[in-house]
Amino acid sequence: MTRAAKKTSEKPGKPEKPAKKAATGKKAAPAKKAAPARTSKTSRTSAGTSAGKSAASGSAAVKKAVPPKKVAVAPEKATAAVGKASSVRTVAPKSRKNESHTALVRRARRIDRELAEVYPYAHPELDFENPFQLLVATVLSAQTTDLRVNQTTPALFAKYPTPEDLAAADPEEVEGILRPTGFFRAKTRSVMGLSRALAEEFGGEVPGRLEDLVKLPGVGRKTAFVVLGNAFGRPGITVDTHFQRLVRRWQWTEETEPDKIEAAVGALFPKSEWTMLSHHVIFHGRRICHARKPACGACPIAPLCPAYGEGETDPEKAKKLLKYEKGGFPGQRLKPPQSYLDAGGRPAPPLAAG
């Protein structure tokens, strides 16, 4: 082989050097770039770990957000609370059983002050001119209205003005006069019996002591306190049906026996206020706080009454339940509650007496 041919045969081998460089040279950089991809496995691992931690913390937060085991109990407690709240009135709470004695005294006296403003003219609604007439009229008022008694007693006292006269009367004539009051036979025995006792034991005069009055036929503590408070000016609490109903609605006491109610309520007020307290409560019971359907929407003491809502709460409907004397509001000093007033601030038209 000639030297020229030899050079020619060697020339094609030269381009192989760049190929070597391509295998081992600078073009290996892309392979180096793949290295971060391999290291990204580590970063992915760390990222996965952090993500796992965040997911775990998130699940822990979710677990914390949902109270374990209490979820099933909470609705029952909530329902009970709502049920209890539903019985609570907008104006006043339904129950004040946890009320302290001091708070009870303050609330009771505030109620009496409010009623005194509404009924400044409160008085015994039986007509009488002396203690004897008041005693007889009070005995006759059992199981009937004061209005009926006031319609009956004028004829009785005109014919029998003194205890001696009534004690010596013909029972049948007395029964005929007392017939409209109901239970006229029993009432005849009572009024004639107490008249006889007054004539024989007290010289025809009504005694001014509780222990003497309760010994008379047909006379109990209620009747005795009516006579003592209004004929002799001696304080007493008259526990009639209206009084019993209202003081229990107001949760002044839970007692049911008149003597115990008298003692419980008497402990809330000064003795000097007992007589007028009785009048205020009885007036309110006859006019607004009725037994079957109290006029709650027209009641001036609604914010203080735990029983608010037992009756009609709509002011317009409640106003129709009010009972006034004939001729409108009795007394010149009456300050009617807001529900009694019409749009112009004047007293609403009077209702028929009931």
Q: What is the pLDDT of residues 65-123, one digit of tens each?
A: 444 443 333 233 222 222 233 333 344 445 566 899 999 999 999 999 999 999 998 98
In CATH, what is the architecture of 126-234?
A: Orthogonal Bundle (1.10)
Range(s) of the chain covered by CATH 1.10.1670.10: 91-120+236-354
Least confident of 12-16, 185-189, 275-279, 309-313: 12-16
Range(s) of the chain covered by CATH 1.10.340.30: 126-234
Least confident of 30-44, 175-189, 315-329: 30-44
Q: Pseudo-torsion of CA 342, 90, 105, 333, nearest 10°? A: 0
Among 136, 256, 127, 149, residue whose Cα is nearest residue 188: 136
Among 259, 126, 131, residue whose Cα is nearest residue 181: 126
Distances (CA, A) of 232 to 221, 224, 348: 15, 11, 37
What pTM was computed for the model?
0.65
d(CA 167, CA 146): 23
Residue type, 137: A
Taking residues 48-57, report their average pLDDT: 48
Taking residues 244-257, report their average pLDDT: 96
Q: Which residue has the tokens 């009456």?
A: 334
Which carries the bigger pLDDT value, residue 328 or residue 310?
A: 310
**pLDDT level of residue 29 (50, 70, 90 thresholds):** very low
Catalytic residue list = 222, 240
d(CA 285, CA 146): 14
Asked if residue 59 has pLDDT above 80, the reply is no
Residue-wise pLDDT tens digits, 112-122:
999 999 999 89
pLDDT for 95 equals 57
Residue-wise pLDDT tens digits, 270-305:
999 999 999 999 999 999 999 999 999 999 999 999
What's the fold here for domain 91-120+236-354?
Answer: Endonuclease Iii, domain 2 (1.10.1670)
Burial of 143 (0-12, 13-18, 19+ CB in 10 A): exposed
d(CA 199, CA 202): 6
Q: Pseudo-torsion of CA 92, 93, 98, 104, nearest 10°? A: 20
Per the CB < 8 A criterion, the answer to whether 225 and 231 are in contact is no
